[in-house]
Chains A and B, each alone.
Chain A
Amino acid sequence: MKIKSQFALFVVLMIVWFLINNSFQIEIVIIGAVLSFIISLIFGRRTDVLNEFKFTPAAFFYTLVYLLVFFVELIKSNIDVALRVIKPSLPINPGIVKTKTVLKSKMARMILTNSITLTPGTLTVDIDDDILYIHWIDVESDDIDVATEKIVKKFEKILVKIYG
């Protein structure tokens, strides 16, 4: 288990190193490999969340679908919030609502809450097991089921297929 998470961290560090240097000269590869090895040896046991990545074809496909859905939502909600800022009457209707998630894995919850926070208009304030507290700039309903349907479901239905 520990070896696996160390290896995952090593791979991530190597990818970052190659992206920064943008070259495959032998010295650069060796320096990167040695540094990544030392860092992953020390910090490997703390990154067990990386183990939850799945590398099946289906997971890969749904990750692409998820990115597409996410960017469409990002653009839509960015324009929405920008319009609210411009309008002289400042049409906001803020509040903190409760929502529920069916996701169990740590990684899936992290991706879900980060996506909710990144799309403007919704902001995850806290999480307590399967309850998410979300600050919503335009509260349409304070009912837990309706809010879940409006905010969480569009991301969750794809994440469920990846992380089950």
Chain B
Amino acid sequence: MENSVIEIIGAVLVLLGAIFLFLGALGLVRMPDVYNRIQAGTKASTLGTFLSLIGLLLIIPAWWGKLILLVIFILITNPVSSHVLARASYCIKVPMFKKTVVDKYKEDVVKLFKKDENND
């Protein structure tokens, strides 16, 4: 009896995670430019992935070690990849959404890239 209650909670968490992952995918289609797509796609999904993994942890407790490793791995790699994608798209001058309010990066970007070249 107790076991099945925990399993149901786990299943609900996995379902919630799947809903967040779906919303992330929907965001990829709806957002107007690269930077906003990165926001929706790579990150509305963080909570989705975490909820799925926690739900799985409740259903199959024996996998705890690997699941914790997965969470740590996502915590470290996910922000790095979204940062690099955003910076690389800025470097090759992917246009921003026309309703973009402010772009403070533009003023300094030339100076920053020069600095990077000198460091290499």
Contacts and interface: CB of A to CB of B under 8 A. Distances in A.
Contacts, number: 134
B104 A142 contact: yes
Contact of A94 (B78, B100, B104): B100
B39 A81 contact: yes
Interface string A68-94: 000000110010011001100010111
A135 B86 contact: yes
Interface string B25-49: 0110011110110111001101100
Contacts of A78: 20, 43-44, 46-47
Interface size bracket, B side: 35 or more
A81 B102 contact: no
B99 interface: yes
Contact of B36 (A16, A94, A124): A94
Interface size bracket, A side: 35 or more
Q: Is the interface of A mostly helix, strand, loop or mixed?
A: mixed
28 contacts: A16-B69, A19-B66, A19-B68, A20-B65, A20-B66, A20-B69, A74-B50, A78-B43, A78-B47, A81-B27, A82-B23, A85-B23, A86-B26, A90-B30, A90-B32, A92-B99, A94-B35, A96-B102, A97-B102, A98-B104, A117-B82, A118-B75, A121-B39, A123-B83, A125-B87, A126-B90, A126-B109, A139-B101
Interface of A: 16, 18-22, 74-75, 78, 81-82, 85-86, 90, 92-98, 113-121, 123-126, 128, 131, 133, 135, 137, 139, 142
